[in-house]
């Protein structure tokens, strides 16, 4: 009976992950609650995930990654590589992707992609390359780079912790490098030469207004003599409520005004930059005695100058705004900026966006004063996709943030300290020196990842206690035993890589680890190659935009469709499945 109940819980988990009707962390917590309700785990086992060394280590690495991001060093190096490449776009692309892969070996992958998206978009604009040719390779190369070290991805840390619970030695810092390095080189070559040929031009960097098709939603109106708006303010007129029109900027005697528009009395000959549907704009024009400037075409150049800017920002998964609407948080009043459009998994929303609940990695097209947009980027709820200022921010203690991760890696790699201890000390260094504020540290942690990790860890224990892991392992052994352990390992790698396309990589690893141990026990061989194989496979999420967070991050900026990931990712999955099936038992014999 226990096995049947556990299968039902697993079925709920898998279906919910695939359908995405609930956030993944909510799904994981419900699954944890069901395990408790059915008596499949004890309360102690249910809470053990939240104190698991792997979970705490991942939390610390999120904070350390934020310290490196705030230092600005990596982004400066990225822009420097583009400048050094001169007119050679291929050289700039190779250098940028290589740097992204190197950084992702030591930094959380989502942080690495967040650093490099603005640089990549600038590179695309400079060399007139479609961003769709660069952003999927950027996501893939950071995933591949993360497989090279223990701290490169949370999955590596997680499986290392699970291995120690089963009596094996923890993985060393560079134990993955022998296979991960080859995987990275082969995958990078594929990214550079094949992916651009497999993906069509999906987005151009000519203009953001063109990308979001805003030409029918932005226009200019002149306040004519005799207009009822003269002497009235936006607040008094209630433009957005009565006419569903947003006033973005006022041009008065050649001077552009974008701040505190709600309380600005309007004057004759003021030019109003407004956003709305053409039907609403025309109704507003007729009822308020305005002149439509039909000969004016508004684009990025007209919307951006020394005082105002048009940029894209993405909603961080750790943002407190996730699940809220723009209206509920009063976005315009809170940030003094306007959201003109919202892009989500290939769909662009331009109407009634104020009532749409925000999701992680939604891309917002934002217009406002440069200082306000810069503050929006620094607030911690958003990741900017373009640089607001030409000069990057650099704090007084930037060098501490830049050196914290190398110090942590050195301490762990030399064996002076375990990774958990060195990571905690690295975070203490950042906080004690005020390189990071405690609020920044809290915001840096992707709590979705943490709650999913902590909630799914007890699933592994439940699978072992109920005998489900042994049963599944026995079925796999019956199929593959005649072909030897090598074939069995290949089956485990294939199953894990397929699973990770539809559920989180950490969930896939947790489900496969007990099965891997049971298979090794059935065969009477070392479990290490099976663990290493499934660890690599859990990161091989290339064929869907939702299987890995970095794939989701580049979806909107690249203008991709679901089929683009299938075209580019499925062949890479096949190549790396065969490659790891050969390399893993060669490096870690049975």
Of the chain, the percentage scoring pLDDT greater than 90 comes to 24
Q: State the SS3 of 48-105.
A: HHHHCHHHHHHHHHHHHHHHHHHHCHHHHHHHHHHHHHCCCHHHHHHHHHHHHHHHHC
- pLDDT mean over 220-234: 85
* Top-ranked range on mean pLDDT: pick from 53-62, 416-425, 573-582: 573-582
Contact 132, 568 (CB under 8 A): no
- pLDDT at position 87 over 60: yes
Burial class (CB in 10 A: 0-12, 13-18, 19+), 12: middle
Q: Among 218, 208, 195, which residue's Cα sits nearest to residue 144? A: 195
pLDDT band at 207 (very low <50, low <70, confident <90, very high): confident
Q: What are phi and psi of 44, to 5 degrees?
A: -65, -40
Helix %, strand %, coil % of the chain (to 5): 60, 10, 30
Return the DSSP state at 367: E
Of the chain, the percentage scoring pLDDT greater than 70 comes to 95
Rounded (10°) angle between helices 505-523 and 528-538: 160
Domains 216-298 and 308-384 alike in fold: yes
pLDDT band at 212 (very low <50, low <70, confident <90, very high): confident
What lies within 8 Å, CB to CB, of 29 at 6+ separation is 451, 455
DSSP H or E run through 529: helix 528-538
**The CATH homologous superfamily of the domain defined by 216-298:** Regulator of K+ conductance, C-terminal domain (3.30.70.1450)
CB-facing half-sphere around the CA of 150: CA atoms within 13 A: 21
- pLDDT mean over 334-349: 83
Residue 395's pLDDT is 63
| pTM metric for this prediction | 0.85
pLDDT band at 577 (very low <50, low <70, confident <90, very high): very high
Return the DSSP state at 570: H
DSSP H or E run through 257: strand 255-257
- pLDDT mean over 168-185: 93
Residue spans of the domains in the chain: they are 58-206+398-446, 216-298, 308-384
- pLDDT mean over 314-318: 85
For 447-464, the pLDDT digits (tens) are 888 998 899 889 888 888
Contact 140, 544 (CB under 8 A): no
- pLDDT mean over 497-515: 89
Q: Are strands 290-292 and 363-369 parallel, antiparallel or unpaired?
A: unpaired
Q: Taking the CB of residue 195, how many other CB atoms lie within 10 A of it?
A: 24
Right CATH number for 308-384 from 3.30.70.2860, 3.30.70.1450, 3.30.365.10, 3.20.20.70? 3.30.70.1450
Residues in the chain: 590
Residue 390's pLDDT is 46
- pLDDT mean over 210-231: 81
Question: 360 by DSSP, 3-state: which?
Answer: coil
- pLDDT at position 394 over 60: no
Q: Which region among 27-41, 170-184, 390-404 has the lowest average model confidence (pLDDT)? A: 390-404
Mean of pLDDT over the chain: 85
Q: Which residue has the higher pLDDT, 19 or 9?
A: 9
């Amino acid at each position: 009976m226990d096995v049947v109940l556990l299968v039902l819980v697993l079925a709920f988990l898998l279906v919910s992950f695939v359908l995405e009707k609930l956030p993944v962390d909510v799904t994981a917590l419900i699954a944890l609650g069901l395990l408790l309700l059915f008596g499949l785990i004890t309360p102690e086992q249910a809470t053990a995930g939240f104190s698991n060394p792997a979970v705490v280590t991942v939390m610390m690495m999120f904070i350390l990654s934020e310290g490196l991001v705030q230092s600005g060093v990596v982004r400066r190096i990225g822009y420097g590589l583009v400048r050094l490449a001169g007119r050679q776009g291929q050289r700039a692309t190779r250098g940028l992707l290589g740097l992204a892969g190197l950084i992702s070996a030591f930094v959380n992958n989502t942080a690495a992609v967040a650093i490099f998206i603005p640089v990549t978009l600038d590179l695309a604009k400079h060399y007139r390359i479609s961003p769709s040719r660069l952003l999927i390779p950027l996501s893939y190369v950071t995933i591949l780079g993360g497989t090279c070290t223990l701290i490169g991805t949370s999955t590596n840390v997680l499986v290392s912790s699970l291995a120690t619970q089963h009596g094996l030695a923890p993985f060393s810092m560079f134990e993955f490098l022998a296979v991960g390095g080859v995987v990275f080189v082969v995958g990078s070559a594929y990214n550079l030469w094949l992916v651009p040929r497999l993906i069509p031009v999906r987005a151009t960097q000519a203009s953001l207004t063109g990308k979001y098709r805003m030409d029918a939603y932005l226009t200019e109106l002149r306040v004519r003599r005799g207009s009822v708006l003269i002497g009235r303010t936006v607040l008094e007129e209630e433009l957005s409520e009565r006419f569903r029109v947003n006033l973005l900027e006022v041009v008065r005697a050649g001077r552009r005004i974008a701040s505190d528009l709600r309380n600005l009395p309007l004057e004759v000959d003021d030019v109003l930059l407004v956003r709305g549907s053409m039907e609403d704009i025309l109704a507003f024009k007729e009822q308020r005695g305005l002149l439509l400037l039909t000969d004016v075409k508004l684009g990025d150049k007209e919307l951006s100058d020394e005082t105002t800017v048009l940029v894209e920002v993405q909603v961080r998964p750790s943002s407190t705004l996730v699940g809220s609407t723009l209206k509920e948080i009063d976005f315009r009043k809170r940030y003094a900026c306007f959201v003109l459009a919202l892009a989500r998994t290939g769909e662009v929303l331009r109407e009634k966006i104020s009532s749409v609940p925000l999701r992680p990695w939604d891309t917002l097209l934002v217009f406002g004063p440069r200082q306000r947009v810069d503050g929006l980027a620094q607030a911690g709820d958003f990741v900017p996709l373009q640089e607001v200022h030409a000069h990057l921010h650099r704090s007084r203690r930037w060098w501490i943030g830049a050196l914290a991760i190398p110090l942590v890696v050195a301490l762990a790699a030399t064996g002076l300290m375990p990774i958990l201890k060195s990571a905690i000390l690295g975070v203490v260094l950042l906080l004690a020196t005020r390189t990071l504020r405690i609020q920044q540290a809290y915001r840096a942690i992707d709590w979705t990842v943490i709650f999913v990790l902590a909630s799914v860890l007890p699933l592994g224990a439940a699978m072992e206690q109920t005998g489900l892991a042994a049963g599944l392992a026995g079925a796999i052994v019956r199929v593959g035993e005649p072909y030897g352990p090598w074939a069995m390992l290949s089956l485990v790698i294939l199953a894990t890589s397929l699973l990770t396309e539809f559920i989180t990589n950490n969930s896939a690893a947790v489900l496969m680890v007990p099965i891997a141990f049971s298979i090794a026990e059935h065969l009477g061989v070392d479990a290490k190659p099976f663990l290493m194989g499934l660890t690599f496979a859990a990161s091989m999420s290339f064929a869907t935009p939702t299987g890995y967070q970095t794939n989701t991050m580049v979806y909107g900026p690249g203008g991709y469709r679901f089929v683009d990931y299938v075209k580019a990712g499925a062949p890479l999955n096949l190549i790396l499945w065969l490659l790891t099936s050969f390399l893993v038992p060669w490096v870690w014999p049975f």
